[in-house]
Amino acid sequence: MFKYAAVLAIVGVCSVGAAPHGSKRDDYKMTNDTTVFQYALTLEHLEYAFYTGGLERFDDQAFEAAGFPTWVRGRFKQVQEHEASHVAFLEAAIGPDAVKPCTYKFPYTDPKSFVSLAASIEGVGTAAYTGAAHYITAPGAITDAASILATESRHDAWMMSAALEGAPWSGPYQTPLNPDEVYSIAAQFIESCPSTNAALPVKTFPALTVTPATPKPGDTIKVSVSGSNMYMLYHSGSSILSSDIVNCETTIPKELVGVVYAGVASEKPTGDKPPSSSAMQSGLVDFNFGLPASADNNGLLSQH
Protein backbone atom coordinates (compact mmCIF):
# COMPACT_ATOMS: atom_id res chain seq x y z
CA MET A 1 0.00 0.00 0.00
CA PHE A 2 1.41 3.31 1.08
CA LYS A 3 5.00 3.62 2.10
CA TYR A 4 5.22 4.75 5.74
CA ALA A 5 1.74 3.40 6.32
CA ALA A 6 0.85 -0.14 5.41
CA VAL A 7 4.02 -1.92 4.40
CA LEU A 8 4.86 -2.97 7.94
CA ALA A 9 7.09 -5.62 9.43
CA ILE A 10 5.17 -8.70 10.48
CA VAL A 11 5.25 -9.61 14.16
CA GLY A 12 4.99 -13.25 15.15
CA VAL A 13 3.65 -16.04 12.93
CA CYS A 14 1.32 -15.54 10.04
CA SER A 15 -2.38 -15.81 10.71
CA VAL A 16 -5.28 -17.49 8.95
CA GLY A 17 -6.80 -15.31 6.25
CA ALA A 18 -9.91 -13.45 7.34
CA ALA A 19 -12.96 -12.82 5.23
CA PRO A 20 -13.44 -9.33 3.79
CA HIS A 21 -15.73 -7.12 5.85
CA GLY A 22 -17.47 -3.77 5.71
CA SER A 23 -19.95 -4.52 2.94
CA LYS A 24 -23.50 -5.83 2.76
CA ARG A 25 -22.73 -7.32 -0.65
CA ASP A 26 -20.59 -10.26 -1.67
CA ASP A 27 -19.29 -8.25 -4.64
CA TYR A 28 -19.40 -4.49 -5.13
CA LYS A 29 -21.49 -3.04 -7.89
CA MET A 30 -21.33 0.55 -9.04
CA THR A 31 -24.99 0.92 -9.95
CA ASN A 32 -24.90 4.35 -11.63
CA ASP A 33 -22.72 7.36 -12.35
CA THR A 34 -23.72 9.04 -9.09
CA THR A 35 -22.39 6.09 -7.11
CA VAL A 36 -19.11 6.28 -9.01
CA PHE A 37 -18.89 10.01 -8.28
CA GLN A 38 -19.60 9.40 -4.56
CA TYR A 39 -16.72 6.92 -4.56
CA ALA A 40 -14.47 9.44 -6.32
CA LEU A 41 -15.52 12.21 -3.92
CA THR A 42 -14.66 10.01 -0.94
CA LEU A 43 -11.11 9.74 -2.29
CA GLU A 44 -10.88 13.42 -3.20
CA HIS A 45 -11.94 14.44 0.32
CA LEU A 46 -9.12 12.29 1.69
CA GLU A 47 -6.55 13.79 -0.67
CA TYR A 48 -7.58 17.36 0.08
CA ALA A 49 -7.42 16.72 3.83
CA PHE A 50 -4.00 15.12 3.44
CA TYR A 51 -2.48 18.08 1.60
CA THR A 52 -4.18 20.65 3.81
CA GLY A 53 -2.88 19.04 6.98
CA GLY A 54 0.64 18.57 5.66
CA LEU A 55 0.98 22.11 4.35
CA GLU A 56 -0.35 23.53 7.62
CA ARG A 57 2.19 21.49 9.56
CA PHE A 58 5.28 22.05 7.37
CA ASP A 59 6.16 25.55 6.18
CA ASP A 60 8.69 26.63 3.56
CA GLN A 61 11.56 26.47 6.03
CA ALA A 62 10.66 22.90 7.03
CA PHE A 63 10.74 21.76 3.40
CA GLU A 64 14.07 23.49 2.81
CA ALA A 65 15.55 22.01 6.01
CA ALA A 66 14.49 18.56 4.73
CA GLY A 67 16.54 19.13 1.58
CA PHE A 68 13.83 20.07 -0.90
CA PRO A 69 14.25 23.00 -3.33
CA THR A 70 12.28 26.10 -2.43
CA TRP A 71 9.69 25.53 -5.17
CA VAL A 72 8.61 22.03 -4.04
CA ARG A 73 6.22 23.21 -1.33
CA GLY A 74 4.71 25.68 -3.81
CA ARG A 75 3.89 22.82 -6.17
CA PHE A 76 2.23 20.93 -3.32
CA LYS A 77 0.12 24.00 -2.65
CA GLN A 78 -1.00 23.88 -6.27
CA VAL A 79 -1.85 20.18 -5.90
CA GLN A 80 -3.92 21.01 -2.82
CA GLU A 81 -5.81 23.61 -4.85
CA HIS A 82 -6.44 21.05 -7.60
CA GLU A 83 -7.90 18.63 -5.05
CA ALA A 84 -10.13 21.40 -3.66
CA SER A 85 -11.41 22.00 -7.19
CA HIS A 86 -12.06 18.28 -7.69
CA VAL A 87 -14.03 18.17 -4.44
CA ALA A 88 -16.11 21.20 -5.40
CA PHE A 89 -16.81 19.82 -8.88
CA LEU A 90 -17.94 16.41 -7.60
CA GLU A 91 -20.07 17.95 -4.85
CA ALA A 92 -21.84 20.10 -7.44
CA ALA A 93 -22.32 17.14 -9.79
CA ILE A 94 -23.81 14.94 -7.06
CA GLY A 95 -25.92 17.58 -5.34
CA PRO A 96 -27.16 17.72 -1.74
CA ASP A 97 -26.53 14.01 -1.13
CA ALA A 98 -22.79 14.33 -1.74
CA VAL A 99 -20.73 12.56 0.92
CA LYS A 100 -19.03 14.78 3.49
CA PRO A 101 -15.38 14.60 4.61
CA CYS A 102 -14.41 11.99 7.17
CA THR A 103 -11.98 12.28 10.07
CA TYR A 104 -8.52 11.15 8.97
CA LYS A 105 -5.16 10.16 10.38
CA PHE A 106 -1.98 10.25 8.33
CA PRO A 107 1.34 8.85 9.57
CA TYR A 108 3.81 11.36 8.13
CA THR A 109 6.27 12.81 10.63
CA ASP A 110 8.35 15.22 8.52
CA PRO A 111 8.37 16.71 5.01
CA LYS A 112 10.19 13.69 3.54
CA SER A 113 7.63 11.18 4.79
CA PHE A 114 4.85 13.58 3.74
CA VAL A 115 6.19 13.76 0.18
CA SER A 116 6.69 9.98 -0.05
CA LEU A 117 3.19 9.31 1.23
CA ALA A 118 1.80 11.94 -1.16
CA ALA A 119 3.32 10.09 -4.12
CA SER A 120 1.77 6.81 -2.95
CA ILE A 121 -1.64 8.43 -2.44
CA GLU A 122 -1.54 9.99 -5.92
CA GLY A 123 -0.54 6.64 -7.42
CA VAL A 124 -3.49 4.91 -5.80
CA GLY A 125 -5.79 7.75 -6.84
CA THR A 126 -4.72 7.33 -10.45
CA ALA A 127 -5.24 3.57 -10.21
CA ALA A 128 -8.68 4.18 -8.70
CA TYR A 129 -9.91 6.40 -11.54
CA THR A 130 -8.46 3.98 -14.10
CA GLY A 131 -10.13 1.00 -12.45
CA ALA A 132 -13.53 2.69 -12.13
CA ALA A 133 -13.72 4.18 -15.63
CA HIS A 134 -15.71 1.29 -17.08
CA TYR A 135 -18.56 1.85 -14.59
CA ILE A 136 -19.33 5.31 -16.00
CA THR A 137 -22.02 5.46 -18.68
CA ALA A 138 -22.76 9.13 -19.44
CA PRO A 139 -20.37 10.50 -22.11
CA GLY A 140 -20.02 13.81 -20.27
CA ALA A 141 -19.18 12.07 -17.01
CA ILE A 142 -16.54 9.99 -18.77
CA THR A 143 -14.89 13.16 -20.03
CA ASP A 144 -15.01 14.75 -16.56
CA ALA A 145 -13.46 11.69 -14.92
CA ALA A 146 -10.78 11.49 -17.62
CA SER A 147 -9.88 15.12 -17.02
CA ILE A 148 -9.40 14.50 -13.29
CA LEU A 149 -7.49 11.28 -13.98
CA ALA A 150 -5.05 13.06 -16.29
CA THR A 151 -4.32 15.69 -13.64
CA GLU A 152 -3.89 13.10 -10.86
CA SER A 153 -1.48 11.22 -13.10
CA ARG A 154 0.55 14.39 -13.62
CA HIS A 155 0.66 14.92 -9.86
CA ASP A 156 1.98 11.39 -9.42
CA ALA A 157 4.61 11.72 -12.16
CA TRP A 158 5.86 15.06 -10.82
CA MET A 159 6.15 13.77 -7.26
CA MET A 160 7.89 10.56 -8.25
CA SER A 161 10.40 12.28 -10.53
CA ALA A 162 10.97 15.94 -9.63
CA ALA A 163 10.28 15.76 -5.88
CA LEU A 164 11.60 12.26 -5.12
CA GLU A 165 14.08 12.00 -8.01
CA GLY A 166 12.73 8.64 -9.12
CA ALA A 167 10.96 7.29 -12.19
CA PRO A 168 7.86 9.21 -13.35
CA TRP A 169 6.18 6.02 -14.58
CA SER A 170 6.35 2.25 -14.18
CA GLY A 171 5.65 1.18 -17.74
CA PRO A 172 3.41 1.82 -20.76
CA TYR A 173 0.13 1.09 -18.93
CA GLN A 174 -1.40 2.48 -15.76
CA THR A 175 -2.34 -0.16 -13.18
CA PRO A 176 -6.13 -0.27 -12.58
CA LEU A 177 -7.42 -1.13 -9.10
CA ASN A 178 -11.02 -1.99 -8.31
CA PRO A 179 -13.07 -0.14 -5.68
CA ASP A 180 -12.61 -2.82 -3.01
CA GLU A 181 -8.84 -2.74 -3.42
CA VAL A 182 -8.70 1.05 -3.36
CA TYR A 183 -11.05 1.50 -0.43
CA SER A 184 -9.12 -1.08 1.59
CA ILE A 185 -6.07 1.13 1.12
CA ALA A 186 -7.94 4.36 1.90
CA ALA A 187 -9.61 2.89 5.00
CA GLN A 188 -6.32 2.77 6.92
CA PHE A 189 -6.37 6.59 6.99
CA ILE A 190 -10.06 6.98 7.93
CA GLU A 191 -10.98 7.15 11.61
CA SER A 192 -14.69 7.85 11.20
CA CYS A 193 -17.19 9.23 8.69
CA PRO A 194 -20.48 11.11 9.12
CA SER A 195 -23.39 8.73 9.69
CA THR A 196 -25.34 10.63 7.04
CA ASN A 197 -22.91 9.72 4.26
CA ALA A 198 -24.28 7.36 1.64
CA ALA A 199 -22.86 3.86 2.01
CA LEU A 200 -20.46 2.87 -0.74
CA PRO A 201 -20.88 -0.59 -2.32
CA VAL A 202 -17.38 -1.67 -1.32
CA LYS A 203 -15.82 -4.09 1.10
CA THR A 204 -12.69 -3.64 3.20
CA PHE A 205 -10.08 -6.38 3.10
CA PRO A 206 -7.88 -7.21 6.11
CA ALA A 207 -4.58 -5.35 6.15
CA LEU A 208 -1.57 -7.23 4.79
CA THR A 209 1.86 -7.03 6.37
CA VAL A 210 5.07 -8.30 4.83
CA THR A 211 8.68 -8.67 5.89
CA PRO A 212 11.04 -7.32 4.81
CA ALA A 213 8.97 -4.19 4.24
CA THR A 214 11.00 -3.01 1.22
CA PRO A 215 11.95 -6.15 -0.73
CA LYS A 216 13.44 -6.47 -4.20
CA PRO A 217 12.27 -8.61 -7.14
CA GLY A 218 13.49 -12.15 -6.55
CA ASP A 219 13.41 -11.82 -2.76
CA THR A 220 11.52 -14.24 -0.55
CA ILE A 221 9.09 -12.47 1.75
CA LYS A 222 6.94 -13.52 4.70
CA VAL A 223 3.27 -12.56 4.60
CA SER A 224 0.66 -12.23 7.32
CA VAL A 225 -2.01 -14.37 5.63
CA SER A 226 -1.83 -18.16 5.51
CA GLY A 227 -3.92 -21.13 4.50
CA SER A 228 -4.01 -23.78 1.83
CA ASN A 229 -3.91 -22.74 -1.82
CA MET A 230 -2.96 -19.14 -1.20
CA TYR A 231 -1.27 -16.94 -3.79
CA MET A 232 0.40 -13.55 -3.86
CA LEU A 233 -0.92 -11.44 -6.73
CA TYR A 234 1.13 -8.62 -8.26
CA HIS A 235 -0.76 -5.90 -10.16
CA SER A 236 1.63 -4.25 -12.63
CA GLY A 237 0.18 -2.18 -15.45
CA SER A 238 -2.33 -4.32 -17.31
CA SER A 239 -0.67 -7.54 -16.12
CA ILE A 240 -1.22 -9.63 -12.99
CA LEU A 241 1.44 -12.10 -11.91
CA SER A 242 1.23 -14.56 -9.05
CA SER A 243 3.45 -16.65 -6.80
CA ASP A 244 2.53 -19.54 -4.50
CA ILE A 245 2.54 -18.94 -0.75
CA VAL A 246 4.05 -21.84 1.19
CA ASN A 247 4.41 -21.72 4.98
CA CYS A 248 3.68 -17.99 4.95
CA GLU A 249 6.49 -17.32 2.45
CA THR A 250 6.58 -16.48 -1.25
CA THR A 251 9.14 -15.31 -3.79
CA ILE A 252 8.57 -12.10 -5.74
CA PRO A 253 8.86 -12.55 -9.54
CA LYS A 254 12.18 -11.19 -10.79
CA GLU A 255 10.72 -9.40 -13.83
CA LEU A 256 8.68 -6.85 -11.87
CA VAL A 257 9.67 -3.17 -12.08
CA GLY A 258 8.25 0.15 -10.93
CA VAL A 259 5.29 0.48 -8.56
CA VAL A 260 3.52 -2.85 -8.01
CA TYR A 261 0.43 -3.53 -5.88
CA ALA A 262 0.42 -6.92 -4.18
CA GLY A 263 -2.18 -8.85 -2.19
CA VAL A 264 -3.14 -12.38 -1.15
CA ALA A 265 -5.91 -14.37 -2.85
CA SER A 266 -7.24 -17.92 -2.71
CA GLU A 267 -7.36 -18.07 -6.52
CA LYS A 268 -4.81 -17.42 -9.24
CA PRO A 269 -5.58 -14.85 -11.94
CA THR A 270 -6.85 -16.13 -15.28
CA GLY A 271 -4.53 -14.47 -17.75
CA ASP A 272 -4.74 -10.77 -16.91
CA LYS A 273 -8.17 -11.16 -15.30
CA PRO A 274 -8.02 -10.92 -11.49
CA PRO A 275 -9.80 -13.38 -9.21
CA SER A 276 -13.25 -12.55 -7.90
CA SER A 277 -13.49 -10.11 -5.02
CA SER A 278 -14.61 -12.92 -2.72
CA ALA A 279 -11.28 -14.70 -3.34
CA MET A 280 -9.21 -11.81 -1.98
CA GLN A 281 -7.82 -12.55 1.47
CA SER A 282 -6.04 -9.26 2.14
CA GLY A 283 -5.72 -5.67 1.15
CA LEU A 284 -2.84 -4.48 -0.99
CA VAL A 285 0.66 -3.29 -0.23
CA ASP A 286 2.66 -1.28 -2.71
CA PHE A 287 6.25 -1.97 -3.64
CA ASN A 288 8.33 0.54 -5.56
CA PHE A 289 10.97 -1.54 -7.33
CA GLY A 290 12.29 1.41 -9.29
CA LEU A 291 12.82 1.78 -13.01
CA PRO A 292 16.34 2.64 -14.22
CA ALA A 293 16.55 5.16 -17.04
CA SER A 294 18.34 2.50 -19.07
CA ALA A 295 15.46 0.01 -18.83
CA ASP A 296 14.56 -1.40 -22.24
CA ASN A 297 10.91 -2.16 -21.37
CA ASN A 298 11.21 -5.80 -22.33
CA GLY A 299 9.17 -8.58 -20.74
CA LEU A 300 6.35 -7.59 -18.42
CA LEU A 301 6.42 -3.92 -19.36
CA SER A 302 5.64 -4.63 -22.98
CA GLN A 303 2.59 -6.75 -22.25
CA HIS A 304 -0.97 -5.53 -22.56
**Cα–Cα–Cα angle for 210, 265, 175, rounded to 5 degrees:** 80
Q: How far apart are the first and last CA of the chain?
A: 23
Q: Of 140, 170, 192, which residue constitutes the final position of a domain?
A: 192
Rounded percentage of the chain residues whose pLDDT exceeds 90: 80
Residue 15 is predicted with a pLDDT of 55
pLDDT confidence tier of residue 2, bands split at 50, 70 and 90? very low
pLDDT digits (tens, 9 = 90+) for 18-52: 444 333 333 446 789 999 999 999 999 999 999 99
Number of domains observed in the structure of the chain = 2
Average pLDDT over residues 246-256: 96
Q: What global pTM score does this model have?
A: 0.88
Average pLDDT over residues 225-231: 85
In this structure, what CATH number is given to the domain that contains residue 90? 1.20.1260.10
pLDDT confidence tier of residue 301, bands split at 50, 70 and 90? very low
Please indicate, yes or no, whether residues 234 and 153 belong to a single structural domain of this protein. no
For residue 107, whether the previous peptide bond is cis, meaning omega lies within 30 degrees of 0, is: no
More confident residue, 16 or 81: 81
Instruction: State how far the alpha carbon of 251 is from the alpha carbons of 60, 78, 282, in Å.
Output: 43, 41, 17
Looking at the predicted structure, is the pLDDT value of residue 298 above 90?
no
Containing structural domain, residue 38: 33-192
Residue among 210, 205, 175 nearest 187 (CA): 205
Q: Of 167, 192, 217, which residue constitutes the final position of a domain?
A: 192
Looking at the predicted structure, is the pLDDT value of residue 173 above 90?
yes
